[in-house]
Amino acid sequence: MKECIKCERLFDKALYNELNNSDKEFFEQHIRTCSKCAKNFKELRETLSLVKMRERPEPDKEFMDNLWNELEPNLIKEKLPGRKLNFNLFELLQFKFPGQYKLAGAALILIIGIFIGRYWMGGDNTNPQLLSNNGINNGALNIETAKYLERSKILLLGLMNFDPMTEDAATISLPHIKKISQELVNRAPVLKSGLKKSSHQQLGKLVSDLEVILLQIANLEAKNDVDGIEMIKDGINSRGIFLKINIQQLLQNNLEWKNQKDKEIKKEDRKI
């Protein structure tokens, strides 16, 4: 019986002629004497021969011959593999635009800024003083939210730059990312309730969006969960998470700058 178990364990290697000499000797001897193992092994070998009868038609000759011709135009559209950016900001700045274009560009940027501030952000932060004056949304909450956004942003950037099709999940240390995501998910409810009370609804919504995405990351399979990662990346893009984070960070920076200026003005007033 023990010999049968040992023999069965060698089936796999025997099928592919990978047995070493001592195992091979034992295996062949046992097969000669044990009809049950001999029958099992024979059936497995025959199954293998049978499934190998699966047809494998020749590929389409035209496709094979033209594959490179089909690929080449698409490669031109691709970025060169060794470079990360084809766009050189320095060169662009050196380019001399005609005066009217400069003016139009500046006006456009200004209009977009106003539009984002008024419409996209809704009522949130229209009065930045709210952040420090309402008594609920105190400095600690601001600092915590800023940290939360920054940590989430770094984590999501790492995930977005990871291509599961061509890279191993080990390169981004998925278990570590899952752990951080879980930590951030655990913090979200406190921040959300604080932000809700402080009437920062847009910021609260952003934290909610982040919570959903971070929860998805925390629930990824520990190994290559290619589909899961792709789904999360789609979610990040479709919700415009990075744009929202960047705008919130800009607003927070602006607020800090204003507060600092106010303090400086007060100091000067006192001196006067």
Partner 1 sequence: MDNDTELVEIARNGDKKAFSQLVEKHKRNVYYLAFDLTRSREDAQDISQDVFLRAFRSLKNFRGDSKFSSWLYRITVNACFSFKSNKSYKIMKEKSNIEEMKDYQSEMKDNNTVNPARMVESGFIQKHIETALQKLTQREKTVFIMRNYSEMSFNEIVQILKLRPGTVRNLNFKALQKLRKELAFYKEETY
Q: Assess 43 for contact with partner 1 (CB under 8 A).
A: yes
Q: Assess 36 for contact with partner 1 (CB under 8 A).
A: no
Q: Assess 51 for contact with partner 1 (CB under 8 A).
A: yes
Q: Assess 70 for contact with partner 1 (CB under 8 A).
A: yes
Q: Assess 91 for contact with partner 1 (CB under 8 A).
A: no
Q: Assess 11 for contact with partner 1 (CB under 8 A).
A: yes
| The one among 20, 33, 72, 269 contacting partner 1 by CB under 8 A | 72
- Provide CB contacts within 8 A for 196, sequence distance 6+: 204
Nearer to partner 1, 108 or 170 (CB): 170
| The one among 4, 75, 109, 116 contacting partner 1 by CB under 8 A | 75
Nearer to partner 1, 23 or 256 (CB): 23
Q: Assess 50 for contact with partner 1 (CB under 8 A).
A: yes
Which residues inside 201-260 make contact with partner 1, applying CB under 8 A?
223-224, 226-227, 230
CA 124 – CA 121 distance, rounded (Å): 6
Nearer to partner 1, 102 or 176 (CB): 176
Nearer to partner 1, 44 or 215 (CB): 44
The footprint of partner 1 on this chain (CB under 8 A) covers a number of residues equal to: 49
Here the tokens at position 242 are: 């990075």
Nearer to partner 1, 57 or 98 (CB): 57
User: Contact, 48 vs 54, CB < 8 A?
Assistant: no
CA 239 – CA 205 distance, rounded (Å): 11
Q: Assess 15 for contact with partner 1 (CB under 8 A).
A: yes
* DSSP assignment string, the chain: -HHHHHHHHHHHHHHTT---HHHHHHHHHHHHH-HHHHHHHHHHHHHHHHHTT---PPPPHHHHHHHHHHHHHHHHHSPPTT-S----HHHHHHS---HHHHHHHHHHHHHHHHHIIIIISTTTTSSTTHHHHSSSS-HHHHHHHHHHHHHHHHHHHHHHT--TTTS-GGGGTHHHHHHHHHHHHHHHHHHHHHHHHTT-HHHHHHHHHHHHHHHHHHTS-SS--HHHHHHHHHHHHHTTHHHHHHHHHHHHHHHHHHHHHHHHHHHHHHH-
| The one among 17, 22, 35, 74 contacting partner 1 by CB under 8 A | 74
| The one among 21, 33, 60, 238 contacting partner 1 by CB under 8 A | 60
> Nearest approach, Cβ of 21 to partner 1 (angstroms)?
20
Q: Assess 57 for contact with partner 1 (CB under 8 A).
A: yes
Given the rule CB under 8 A, which residues bind partner 1?
A: 11-12, 15-16, 42-44, 46-57, 59-60, 63-64, 67-68, 70-72, 74-75, 78-84, 163-168, 170, 223-224, 226-227, 230
